[in-house]
Amino acid sequence: MTETTLPPPRQLRVRPFAYADLPELDRMVHALAAHHGDAAGHSRDKLFADVTGAEPPLRVLIAEFEGRPRGYAALSVLLRLHCARHGMELHHLYVDAEARGQGVGRALLQASVVLARDAGASQLVVATHPDNPEAQAYYPAAGFELWPSRAPRFRLAL
């Protein structure tokens, strides 16, 4: 019989955002913006204000992979007042390129589902960039159903 040496198990943990994560979250938000050809226009103070406080506009989960933050999920409340229920939107799901394919995104998505259920959400919604076929294939494989837009959306810059 031959002896086989296995690599040590890789450690992956998903947890809520903590203040010490701010520099890494800032780095990852900039990386996601650059990936989509956008420029991140926030300051660290604004980012911190958006993810902390009694009722923050965003709830952020951090994925620690091999001892350091390597991904994040940002969720926001999605209100449907006329239906007397609410959901959550997965606003961002990001994993560093070096950590992709290691289960980090899957762990963040699973933790996002738990967070949404625990918050009493009736659904979790996610949109993908039109030029991201990998994400468009990933979400249905993870149990999401295609939710066609029923109406045009408009915005007014303020």
Does residue 78 lie in a domain region? yes
Range of the domain at 132: 12-141
Residue 142, amino acid: A
Q: How many CB atoms lie within 10 A of CB 17?
A: 22
5 within some domain: no
| 145-149 average pLDDT score | 83
For 145-150, what is the mean pLDDT?
A: 80
> Tell me, what's the pLDDT at 8?
61
Would residue 4 count as lying in a domain? no
Question: Is position 6 within any domain?
Answer: no
Return the half-sphere exposure (C-beta side, CA atoms, 13 A cut-off) of residue 128: 16
Selected residue with higher pLDDT from 149 and 93: 93
Residue 6 reports pLDDT greater than 60: no
Q: Is there a domain that residue 146 lies in?
A: no
* Averaged pLDDT, 124-145: 90
Q: By the 8 A CB rule, do 86 and 125 touch?
A: no
Per-residue pLDDT tens digits for 74-111:
999 988 777 777 899 999 999 999 999 999 999 999 99
Report the alpha-carbon angle 125-128-132, nearest 5: 155
Sign of CA dihedral 32, 16, 119, 43: negative
Answer yes or no: is 157 within a domain.
no
- Per the structure, the count of domains in the chain is 1
- Within 10 Å of residue 72's Cβ, how many Cβ atoms? 25
CATH number of the domain encompassing residue 124 = 3.40.630.30
Asked if residue 149 is part of any domain, the answer here is: no
Q: Which two tokens stand for residue 75?
A: 């969720």
Tokens of residue 119, six digits: 């918050």
Rounded to two decimals, the pTM is 0.86
Is 55 domain-assigned?
yes
Average pLDDT over residues 12-25: 95
